[in-house]
A and B are shown apart, each in its own frame.
Chain A
């Protein structure tokens, strides 16, 4: 066995053991880990659109919303439907995919700032639709959202309850963790394979120079639509899992702030590089949560009382960290190999 295989096995074991360890710290941390995985999922989807194809999308969370609402509507007492996951997830991915194409089609001629503005508007439109599609026909139940959504279940296994297996207790969130991990593995493989394919190259070519890409024979309209649709379907699947885990969805979960968060993960991690994007998503998911749990006790210990509200300080540190990263690592923490090369050369040139 070479070192790579051993490293791979160690990482796999650590990932498998993680929820059991986190359960000891508190089930809340397993939930945080699950949300982090969902954000990795989202970031990888957005990475196709922003990182590879270079299309700045500020409304990405809309596809997450579509996936979540598809699950909510097809598996809750709201319509009295209770379809299994293997129906809902593909339907959710498909609906998000269509939404992606619907967003993509009118924006094909736009780039940069203009595209950002339109996609931002699109994200808001979807959220406002969710908010208002309660009359005359009650589809989304408006701002109240949809409750009592079915959880994920395979065969008779319910992912809400705690099960004991081999003498170990697996809580609901811990079980979700494994499902998400499996899905994530699939998403990573899809991303890596796309990156090194004819379509992936076409995306990057469009990002690099759209005119040259056209002249080199790429049907930029179709290829861009494909990027939007692919990215969106990732969002749709993540949204479905989100609804199943939470048991509740409302438009409030899909505000602009979330889109910006996912974009920040992609940019911070390193646009275009799958591993960088994963790192960015994990970092931006865990660090704020970590601060949430430490800011208050630390202040109490240092000053005896609370000086700055945890939420305020959390965002302050978070913002500062982002600014610093962009200042010192403009291509992201873990940029695409090609950018990395360029950074190295810049250093050499400085010396």
Chain B
């Protein structure tokens, strides 16, 4: 299997807190890669550095064979990494459809003049954006809510909408930050099906998750962060048996 993403010695400090310390990890194409660890371990910080929202102190990322420009989030999206947020961040006063249409921004180009003059190219692009957004809403299973404001959707649907918006950017790597948090069993099962479907369609998924059962069942490989350091990286069965992991994470939550 080829390597899609290779993070090398990523470090990030907030004042006195070392949120990430020399974190290196390798994600292969078409795998579901889990990132777990206790609260405050630095998982979300890793996402934020990876997607260019936080400036890193050190380290670099190779993505699809090229160094990833971590300076600006939109370039990361352009390069093919899309993400969702731990605390859902939607465009609340836009409809579900519009939210997904925004995701197409990075793959389209119509500008101000095209819009003002309604050129043929602009209208064709606009129609394509809409069509693709509708398809994606359908794919994540919330086509019936297309016209509703994002903030009026149920919690589970909002999570799905965020995934649809991320997919609209045509990513190679989809990074999900605790997508199952706050979901009930049915919603979690549906989410799991969705993520498996994504992988079947050739996408690579990076998954932060607290739900141990979900992670162990879904992921091909798992990395464990503890106090900003990677303490393990392997297939779930091995990670699960790792004494360091048990001490740091599973030991405290699985008794």
Contact = CB atoms under 8 A, between A and B. Distances in A.
Interface stretch (B19-27, B89-97, B192-200, B220-228): B89-97
A301 B115 CA distance: 55
Nearest to A223: B105
A81 interface: no
Interface stretch (B70-78, B201-209, B240-248): B70-78
Interface stretch (A88-96, A128-136, A338-346): A338-346
B103 A338 contact: no
Classify the secondary structure of B's interface with A: helix
B149 A342 contact: yes
B189 interface: no
A200 interface: yes
B191 interface: no
B53 interface: yes
Contacts, number: 111
Contacts of A194: 112, 115-116
A348 interface: no
Given A205-B91, A217-B103, A200 B165 contact: no
Nearest to B88: A212
Nearest to A272: B93
Interface in B121-145: 122, 125-126, 129
B169 A217 contact: yes
B102 interface: yes
A217 B93 contact: no
B103 A204 contact: no
A189 B116 CA distance: 8
Interface in A196-242: 197-202, 204-205, 208-209, 211-220, 226, 230
A193 interface: yes
B94 A200 contact: no
B108 interface: yes
B29 interface: no
Nearest to A200: B115
A201 B108 CA distance: 13
Give the top 10 A-B pairs by smallest Cβ distance, nearest first: A217-B106, A217-B77, A197-B115, A208-B91, A212-B89, A214-B73, A219-B74, A205-B102, A198-B110, A338-B93
Interface of A: 189-190, 193-194, 197-202, 204-205, 208-209, 211-220, 226, 230, 336, 338-339, 341-342, 345
14 contacts: A194-B115, A197-B114, A198-B125, A198-B129, A201-B105, A205-B94, A208-B94, A213-B91, A215-B77, A215-B89, A216-B105, A217-B77, A217-B169, A219-B74
